[in-house]
Chains A and B, each alone.
Chain A
Amino acid sequence: MARKVLAKGNEALAEAAIAAGCRGFFGYPITPQTDVAAYMARRMPQVGGVYVQAESEIAAVNMVMGAAAAGARALTSSSSPGISLKSETISYLAGCDLPAVIINMQRAGPGLGGIQPSQADYFQATKGLAHGDFHLIVLAPYSVQEMADFMVLAFDLADRYRTPVMLLGDGMLGQMMEPVVFPEPVKTLPEKSWAVTGTKGKRPPNIINSLYIQPDELETLVLERYKRYEAIQREETRFETFFADDAEVLLTAYGSTARIAKSAVLALREKGVKAGLFRPVTLWPFPQEALRQAAAAAEYVLCVEMSMGQMVEDVRLAVNGAKPVHFYGRTGGVVPSPAEIIEQVTRIREGS
């Protein structure tokens, strides 16, 4: 059996990216994800990879674009304000059908905000990171083990569907240490016949481009891309349920908030309240149908987030009025406690 080590979330991401065959990391420091870059600065030269601390977030993501165009597994990492800066190029990555992985270890906003954990970039990640018709696959790990596992998954999905993938964590997940078993190093990477690697005079040149002046041509391309999005929705939607089968009170939460919600579920069960949790693991595609089914038997749904209420809109869409959907959130970098969730459940039961 592979060995368990105690690892910090940010370092687990970095080491797992190397296991996934990533040999290009381009970053710019920002709390609370700087450990990813620091770890890569040390490790990349050891594995024959490239580490560049760029002059800015914008430069870093454009380097990712170049490496991805050349067929490499490339990664950039940042936290909320830095992701906003990267957004333009992420749209270009989608428009060029380039696989790449972007880490966002969220901190509190808006603006420079704070450096403590937050989930207030849900809208940005899942709805409108930048201009144009496109989606990112968004994976939301909730433990250090999942940070490692999902990093490998992120690169696989990116290559399989030729799309940028975002790993959406938060400052707490990045900074915490937990036991982790690292994934086995990937031995062979997928062929990329579209990559710009030089023709050697033997084939017509590949072109990576997102500019299409003719509306018909661009519409056709976008429609084709949306066919791929449909396949992603069909094949790659992921979620976890916890005591959800007979739950009268169904909590929904993702990422580190889901840990706190799990703890609240156990405490509520001890008090005789039939509570359960539905945890979306992919935030896009959102597990809409699975949530609708899980909520069918519940009395109501309570969505808990470290934001003023963002994922709750997707929860309401999924439940579609069949059940009341309540919301509880903390923001600004404040982490909710299990006791606060239990208090909300009590309040809802008392009708206040």
Chain B
Amino acid sequence: MSTHRILIAGFGGQGVQFAGRLLAHVGMYVGKEVSYLSSYGPEMRGGTSNCSVQISDKFIASPLVLEPTELVVMNGPSLEKFEKTVVPGGRIYIDSSIVAKPAVRSDIEPHPIPATALAEEMGLGRLANVIFCGYLIKKLDLCPLSALPAILKEVVSAKRPELLEGNLQALALGFSM
């Protein structure tokens, strides 16, 4: 495995940071080197949010992802801002229920997923972010579905055990797509 450099971007409140932490935990759980870095710059204060996650067999240098191999975009502005940064041959995962425009580049692999609409349809509320996580875990072959409940317990607050079930369903949904 080479290094997965994952950039997740969207509006504040879409669970961008949670998704990043979840993926980093998955990487740690399967014994990879991992890093996670949340944006804390001025853009955060403007309502958008992004985070960098790396999962690798090798030592991770800078935790900042400037040229992602995987880009998850959950809103329009993020597509415009980050599509150009993806490495050629990289993948772009777009919430097609929120972002009207498709990716324009032809040298990257588009994965349009109507995650927000799917989450609402399945009664999973605002768990579009976790659907993306399940999809990436499968796509990047990070770990089997059966390993996810244990990992999720590490990430979901111990004070909110009622959230586990929905998160698991969302992960399984993304994983099975």
A and B pair up = yes
Q: Does B71 contact A (CB under 8 A)?
A: no
Q: Which of B30-38, B80-88, B95-103, B120-128 contacts A (4 or more CB under 8 A)?
A: B30-38
State which size class the interface on A falls in. Answer: 20 to 34
Residues of B within 8 A of A179 (CB): 28, 34
A335 pairs with B38, CB closer than 8 A: no
Q: Does A186 contact B (CB under 8 A)?
A: no
A6 to B26, CA, bound (A): 10
Q: Which of B25, B40, B59, B154 contacts A32 (CB 8 A)?
A: B40
24 residue pairs of the A-B complex, CB under 8 angstroms, read A6-B25, A6-B28, A31-B40, A115-B41, A171-B40, A172-B37, A172-B62, A175-B40, A176-B37, A176-B63, A177-B21, A177-B35, A177-B36, A178-B35, A178-B36, A179-B34, A259-B60, A259-B63, A260-B61, A260-B62, A262-B59, A263-B61, A266-B59, A338-B61
Q: Which residues of B does A touch, CB under 8 Å?
A: 21, 24-25, 28, 34-38, 40-42, 58-64, 66, 154
Write the nearest CB–CB distance from B62 to chain A, whole angstroms: 5
Q: Does A116 contact B (CB under 8 A)?
A: yes
Known: A171-B40, A335-B62. 9 other contacts (CB 8 A): A6-B25, A6-B36, A6-B154, A176-B35, A177-B21, A178-B35, A259-B61, A338-B61, A338-B62
Q: Which residues of A does B touch, CB under 8 Å?
A: 4-6, 31-32, 115-116, 171-172, 175-179, 256, 259-260, 262-264, 266, 335, 337-338
A91 to B169, CA, bound (A): 57
B37 pairs with A177, CB closer than 8 A: yes
Write the nearest CB–CB distance from A98 to chain B, whole angstroms: 33
A264 to B61, CA, bound (A): 9
Write the nearest CB–CB distance from A83 to chain B, whole angstroms: 19
Across the A-B interface, give the 7 residue pairs with the lowest CB-CB distance, nearest first: A263-B61, A177-B36, A176-B63, A176-B37, A259-B61, A260-B62, A179-B28
